[in-house]
Amino acid sequence: MSDPTRTHQNSAKAFERALQVMPGGVSSPVRAFKGVGGTPIFIARGAGAIVEDVDQNQYIDYVGSFGPLIVGHANDRVVAAAAKAMGRGACYGAPTELETQLAGMIVEALPAADMVRFVNSGTEAAMSVVRLARAATGRDLLVKCIGCYHGHVDSLLVQAGSGALTMAEAESRGDANNSAGGNTPPISAPSSPGIPRSLAATTLLTPYNDLHAAERLFDERGAQIAAFLVEPVAGNMGVVPPEAGYLDGLRELCTKHGALLIFDEVMTGFRVGWGGAQALYDAAPDLTCLGKIIGGGLPVGAYAGRRSLMEMVSPAGSVYQAGTLSGNPLAMSAGLATLEILREGAGECYVHLEKSAETLMSGLIGAAHAAGVALTVNRVGSMLTPFFTRMAGAPVRNFDDAMTCDTAAYAVFFHAMLERGVFLPPSQFEAWFVSTAHEDLLIESTLSAAKESFDAVAKSRGS
Type of residue numbered 329: P
**Residue 447 to residue 204: CA distance in whole angstroms:** 41
List the catalytic residue out of 292, 350, 406, 410. 292
Report the nearest approach of ligand PLP to the CB of residue 202 (Å): 19
Is-catalytic flag, 355?
A: no
Q: Does 267 participate in binding ligand PLP (rule CB under 6 A)?
A: yes
Q: Does 123 participate in binding ligand PLP (rule CB under 6 A)?
A: yes
Are 278 and 436 in contact by the 8 Å Cβ rule? The answer is no
List the catalytic residue out of 264, 286, 401, 406. 264
Q: Which long-range contacts (CB under 8 A, 24 or more apart) does 177-181 make?
A: 177/399, 177/400, 177/403, 179/146, 179/205, 179/207, 179/399, 179/400, 181/400
Report the nearest approach of ligand PLP to the CB of residue 265 (Å): 7
Type of residue numbered 424: L
Choose between 27 and 56: whose C-beta lies nearer to ligand PLP: 27
Task: Report the sign of the C-alpha dihedral through residues 259, 265, 269, 273, in that order.
Answer: negative
Q: Give the interface size with ligand PLP as a residue count (CB under 6 A).
A: 17
Task: Give the strands of the sheet with 58-61, arranged side by side.
Answer: 43-47, 50-53, 58-61, 422-423
Choose between 249 and 299: whose C-beta lies nearer to ligand PLP: 299
**Residue 368 to residue 376: CA distance in whole angstroms:** 10
Is-catalytic flag, 400?
A: no
| Omega before residue 95 within 30° of 0, cis | no
Half-sphere exposure for 384 (CA within 13 Å, toward CB): 24
Choose between 66 and 270: whose C-beta lies nearer to ligand PLP: 66
Report the nearest approach of ligand PLP to the CB of residue 16 (Å): 26
Choose between 180 and 322: whose C-beta lies nearer to ligand PLP: 322
Count how many residues are written for the chain: 463
Is-catalytic flag, 292?
A: yes
35 exposed, middle or buried (CB, 10 Å; 0-12, 13-18, 19+)?
buried
Query: Which among 9-17, 109-117, 118-126, 350-358 is the span making contact with ligand PLP, rule CB under 6 A?
Result: 118-126
List the catalytic residue out of 149, 246, 303, 410. 149
Report the nearest approach of ligand PLP to the CB of residue 421 (Å): 25
Q: Which residue from 42, 66, 270, 387 is in contact with ligand PLP, where contact means CB under 6 A?
A: 66
21 exposed, middle or buried (CB, 10 Å; 0-12, 13-18, 19+)?
exposed
Determine if residue 239 is left, alpha or beta; phi over 0 gives left, psi from -120 to 50 gives alpha, anything else beta.
beta
Q: Which residue from 126, 367, 368, 377 is in contact with ligand PLP, where contact means CB under 6 A?
A: 126
Contact pattern for ligand PLP over residues 323 through 362, marking x by CB under 6 A: ----------------------------------------
Report the nearest approach of ligand PLP to the CB of residue 234 (Å): 8
Identify residues 289-318 at the interface with ligand PLP (CB under 6 A).
291, 301
Are 359 and 99 in contact by the 8 Å Cβ rule? The answer is no
Please provide the DSSP assignment of 408-427 as one string. HHHHHHHHHHHHTTEE--SS
Report the nearest approach of ligand PLP to the CB of residue 122 (Å): 2
Choose between 294 and 449: whose C-beta lies nearer to ligand PLP: 294
Please provide the DSSP assignment of 301-330 as one string. EEEEE-HHHHTTBTTTSSB----TTTT-HH
Q: Does 271 participate in binding ligand PLP (rule CB under 6 A)?
A: no
Contact pattern for ligand PLP over residues 141 through 180, marking x by CB under 6 A: --------xxx----------x------------------
Query: Which among 11-19, 49-57, 262-270, 413-421 is the span making contact with ligand PLP, rule CB under 6 A?
Result: 262-270
Q: Which residue from 64, 122, 269, 296 is in contact with ligand PLP, where contact means CB under 6 A?
A: 122
Identify residues 202-261 at the interface with ligand PLP (CB under 6 A).
231, 235-236
- Quote the strand ranges of 241-390, DSSP E: 260-264, 287-291, 301-305, 376-380, 383-387
- Catalog residues that contact ligand PLP under the rule CB under 6 A: 66, 121-123, 126, 149-151, 162, 231, 235-236, 264, 266-267, 291, 301
Catalytic residues: 149, 264, 292
